[in-house]
Structure 1
């Protein structure tokens, strides 16, 4: 009797997992599709002025692979670059000046804001300084991009044309992350897949849709919307600043578009598992608003959706339960099929698709580790700084 009850319970759990996958497949904004891209480049009667703001902290190693791509932008209008050296100790600012002197291209200004005050993350304090420098030029658009992002030569033109043509206040691209090492192949495409599952790109671009997100590596923002939404002051303590920015813009009545990049690439390597682990765990618990109930719900949800299907297939086959094996196998099949487009986008072998449950298990452990680090006082740490949880940050005075 006990054995039968356990098998019956497992059948029901696997059936719930299959139902969850069918719902995700059909009702979660077709998150698994990878065709949300910038439209073909159109021409504009007049090209608005753009200021590019690049926060950089100890990026001397990576700048030679990224900054030249910004300086070489083929943009018909007025554009210039503001690199904000956020307290670097490796000569980042001087290297940037040297690259601009040798390579030419768009004008470059290097600024330094000093240490961030209480209640600010270092990146957003640097962005604030860069935006203040840029506003003196009166640009119509601001391109906020990270120091490890390389842009194709017409990247800026395509972003501006998409913003103007679609009437968007924010146009953001999820940069194509580097996928070279064994661990990058296993973890990186899944990172973007999970992000799209949380924030389906199609929903973000719809008018009146509540879903809001951006990708912090590449965000084109209307300058007047930045003032109306009080960017970055309104999100100054946000560790996950890209999602916070998109929410602030939508909250101010703006329109946001997010898609996958074709010629915007992250050149930062994450060759080892511990590098990827650190990237995810530093902000995963912040994504859950440092909430233990949300953490428990996330762990349970990951287990139900990603771990139950292969477990049900294996255990059902071993126990002679055809129902458990079939429902588990069907859920695993749907999961695998939804992952294939992302692997194709990253030009990775399709045999990685059935391994998604293992990758999800790694993300589950990273999320738990993020919470552990937080309660040990080492959460949300980045380049020598550890940030307070939101309820301990300086309150907004505006």
Structure 2
């Protein structure tokens, strides 16, 4: 009864006091076209992305942008011909100018992606752009994506505008896990709090980040976040911490084309960074496991145990908590165009995320934490300082 009551209290707080995180109506803010279009350089770090590049790069090259824009694809030591394929796609499709370059292996204290981003920003600065668009190699953009991002940044006075790309949901496991991934992210970083000046909450979605070049320089991007595994959140915190005004919302026509057909693929996506999110702290891990259990697992257990044992109070509290949980998940399922019948299964998905988080810690202490595409990164305070 006490556990069920605690869970119900937590859900009442989440419903009303956590920035209405469950609402999915936050899209690009009101915007108008500028009289003079600023220049934009698009930086795309890519490592072994030949499988997805034909579905994403042409969408960047085909951007309908009235100002000057060009694309820099930085090949981060690919072994599958990513750089060569990018050049072939540019020759075949035309569109915006494309530069393909490689920075070489990252030095100690840098993640590969951020080393590639640093190289790309360095090349872009020779063109003196007003804006940088940092986007991943698996992200496909609508033809007016750059135009809309620039309009939003100019109209709202934002130094950073980021859109959470719509992830792929085609396989059974994607349908079960992916919408919950965005739901949990929004619960941790309520989007409505992010754009509030002076608020501590800061986050971005790494697949689509439009950043003023002078704000990037002021925040020392990417040098200030060079060791970050969760680089998008670290980038947003650095920009906001240096006085920048930032915004994050859900996308309409910015889509990830990367497939995660098996549970194993999704497991790796989450577990590689989950313990880093907890700052590699056993205490935070224990608190997270306990919190996930109280908020997501107790309600159905209390309902069924209460019904079986005749404890009406526990059953009612557990049932109400589960109902609130289900109701707050429905908007995300609608956004992903998924059957609403998946909403009551959120405790199952939360249990999977609990296991992924524990596995992330286990892999970290085995020396295989934050492993991605052949690289394993040390915790930040274990990496040598760069001067």
Partner in structure 2 of residue 82 of structure 1: 72
**1:209 Cα deviation after fit:** 1.2
Aligned-residue Cα RMSD (Å) equals 0.7
In the alignment, is residue 389 of structure 1 matched against residue 379 of structure 2? yes
Partner in structure 1 of residue 101 of structure 2: 111
Distance 1:39 1:268 in 2: 27
In the alignment, is residue 202 of structure 1 matched against residue 198 of structure 2? no
**1:395 Cα deviation after fit:** 2.1
Distance 1:385 1:224 in 2: 31
Partner in structure 2 of residue 359 of structure 1: 349
Flag as ranges the 4+ runs of structure 1 deviating above 3 A.
Answer: none
Match of 1:377 among 352, 367, 382: 367
Equivalent residues of 2:30, 2:155 under 8 A apart: no
Equivalent residues of 1:152, 1:263 under 8 A apart: yes
Q: Deviations over 1:264-319 (max 9, x none)?
A: 00000000000000000000000000000000000000000000000000000011
In the alignment, is residue 318 of structure 1 matched against residue 308 of structure 2? yes
Distance 1:150 1:37 in 2: 17
In the alignment, is residue 96 of structure 1 matched against residue 76 of structure 2? no
Distance 1:91 1:148 in 2: 15
Match of 1:148 among 130, 138, 160: 138
Distance 2:260 2:181 in 1: 13
Equivalent residues of 1:65, 1:150 under 8 A apart: yes
Partner in structure 1 of residue 9 of structure 2: 19
SS in 2 for 1:283: helix
Equivalent residues of 1:234, 1:396 under 8 A apart: no
In the alignment, is residue 36 of structure 1 matched against residue 26 of structure 2? yes
Partner in structure 2 of residue 283 of structure 1: 273
Match of 1:263 among 247, 253, 271: 253
- If the length of structure 2 is used for normalisation, what is the TM-score? 0.99
**1:206 Cα deviation after fit:** 1.1
In the alignment, is residue 228 of structure 1 matched against residue 240 of structure 2? no
Partner in structure 1 of residue 162 of structure 2: 172
Q: Deviations over 1:71-101 (max 9, x none)?
A: 0000000000000000011110010001101
Partner in structure 2 of residue 249 of structure 1: 239
Segments of 5+ residues of structure 2 without an aligned counterpart are: none
In the alignment, is residue 303 of structure 1 matched against residue 296 of structure 2? no
**1:396 Cα deviation after fit:** 4.8
SS in 1 for 2:162: strand
- If the length of structure 1 is used for normalisation, what is the TM-score? 0.97
Equivalent residues of 2:229, 2:370 under 8 A apart: yes
**1:41 Cα deviation after fit:** 5.5
**1:393 Cα deviation after fit:** 1.1
Distance 1:91 1:318 in 2: 60
**1:42 Cα deviation after fit:** 2.5
SS in 1 for 2:43: strand
Partner in structure 2 of residue 333 of structure 1: 323
